[in-house]
Amino acid sequence: MLPESWLEPEKNNAPLIPQLTLDCIILGFHNNQLRVLLLRWKNTQEWSLPGGPIRQNESVNAAAQRILQERTGLDDIFLQQFHVFGEVERYSRAEIQEKLKLIFDPELWYERAVSIGYYALVDYSRVNPTPDAYTDECQWWDIREIPFLLFDHNHIIQVALQALRNQLSWQPIGYNLLPHEFTLPELQKLYETILDRKLDPRNFQRKLLGLGILERLPIRRKGGAHKSPYLYRFDKAKYEAGLKEGNLFFI
């Protein structure tokens, strides 16, 4: 997926690993929508996921953190490797050559590439979407309204969503996607959006509060759709202890 011109040593004299790339699904939650960050390639209407090559002198995880920091401006990001995409024919090489011929010499595209998929969960309000040298725009899209993407990136997003839904069964993810303070109805809406189904409010709140990882604040949310619900926040120490002990089974 990366042309050979990208394999030249960079300013830090660190060459890149050929034919191994990263694709990053950056997810945020805003206005009751699960959103994904996409890039539009220069002088085209073609969109794709953020991603890039891995340097010879960095770990795969460090490469993902670097790429995500460049696209979001954030340093502390929840990151989860979820799949390796290594099929021999993942997409039409001829189609990519034609669509991006004004950016790269069509003959420089790899015959194939193996891509490691990561998803990142971020606080939407803290992200500064930033395009890279090969793209004109970096923009949030509602996960339900994603356009046709280059490469096999629509498929990659679907695999990432299934991995995230599986994760919900053992690790509360609101800690990463919601602001520092939130209401239980807001947290429930996040889960319903990801799962694409309704949840019973009483069961949801009972199970979540039973984990002992939420702290209720002495203030209420005013002016929302619900009648002045209390604000909550995650107790970081209890949350991390629960993860280590493996007792955060929830959904």
Q: Categorize the per-residue pLDDT at 226 as very low, low, confident or very high, splitting at 50, 70 and 90.
A: low
Positive or negative CA dihedral for 73, 76, 78, 83?
Answer: positive
Entry pTM: 0.86
Contact by Cβ (8 Å): 3, 108:
yes
Per-residue pLDDT, 11: 47
When pLDDT is averaged across residues 158-183 and rounded to a whole number, the result is 84
Q: Of 189, 149, 237, nearest to 34 (Cα)? A: 189
Report residue 215 as tokens. Answer: 């702290």
Q: Is the pLDDT of residue 181 over 60?
A: yes
Q: Categorize the per-residue pLDDT at 119 as very low, low, confident or very high, splitting at 50, 70 and 90.
A: very high
User: Domains in the chain and their CATH numbers?
Assistant: 4-167 (3.90.79.10), 174-245 (1.10.10.10)
Q: What percent of the chain has pLDDT over 90?
A: 50
Q: Of 8, 11, 13, nearest to 108 (Cα)? A: 8
Report residue 104 as tokens. Answer: 């790269």
Dihedral class, residue 67 (left if φ above 0, else alpha if ψ from -120 to 50, else beta): alpha
> pLDDT tens-digit profile of 98-118?
899 888 887 777 788 899 999
Bridge partners of 207, per DSSP, are none
Tell me which of 115 and 18 has the higher pLDDT: 115
Contact by Cβ (8 Å): 190, 178:
yes
Q: Is the pLDDT of residue 1 over 70?
A: no
> pLDDT tens-digit profile of 20-35?
999 999 999 998 899 9
Q: Is the pLDDT of residue 148 over 80?
A: yes
